[in-house]
Amino acid sequence: MRTSHSQYLTMVEFMEANGDLSKPSGGPRGRNFIQMKWKELTGILNSDSSGDPKSEDKWRKEEISTERPNTEIILKEPEIDWNTPSTSSQPTVAPPPQTEASPPVIDEEEWNPPPQKKRKSNLTKMFLDIDRKATEYASERDRVYEELERDRLRVREFEVRERVRQRDEELRMQGQWLEFMKEAMEAFVRFMERKS
């Protein structure tokens, strides 16, 4: 893809008017501004039929990676000293002085700018919205935490009661076993006494 001389000149003039587009500054707004300017420059350069059209990325690389032509030679006007005698056969005639027309007088009582409405900026509205959502999220988080903690305590209490119940059952069964063994021993002792 070939870039024409007029496209280079257009790019240089645009950069001189809008600053260096390869170095965004000013945070997100600066980046937005640079992107808009690149789109605008791409449209201008692609509308020039003397060179090939390119995508925005290709123009960015073109601007960064290639040497610009020496435009100073082309843009300079020839230096002529007009005060040199004999440069003209006609006598020098100065242009008539320009008279400044006085601006029309506007009666201050006639026109007043309309009163501006006080409204919250989008940024303030956004911060208030974010703060409200953060408060709602924090209260919801606390509520869920408390609910989970209550559930955890209920489960813990149930586990403790179940362990106590199981231990009581074990002790009751051990008590019955001991009672049975006591009766069995007494029966064995009586049996042994009868045999002897």
Q: What secondary structure does DSSP assign to 18-69, as a single string?
A: H--TTS--SHHHHHHHHHHHHHHHHHHHHH-TTS----HHHHHHHHHHSPPP
What is the pLDDT, as a whole number, of residue 63? 55
* Segment-wise mean pLDDT, segments of 10 residues, the chain, 196 residues: 79 79 68 81 84 81 53 51 51 56 61 67 84 94 94 94 94 94 93 87
Say what the pLDDT of residue 51 is: 79
pLDDT at 59: 77
- Measured at the alpha carbon of residue 26, what is the angle toward residues 24 and 31, in degrees to the nearest 5? 45
Contact 52, 2 (CB under 8 A): yes
| pLDDT given for residue 24 in this prediction | 63
Query: Within 13 Å and on the Cβ side, how many CA atoms surround 180?
Result: 6
pLDDT of residue 26: 65
pLDDT of residue 66: 43
d(Cα 92, Cα 88) in Å, to the nearest integer? 8
Query: What does the H/E/C string look like for 125-174?
Result: HHHHHHHHHHHHHHHHHHHHHHHHHHHHHHHHHHHHHHHHHHHHHHHHHH
> Can you give the pLDDT at residue 188?
92
Output the pLDDT for position 64.
Answer: 47
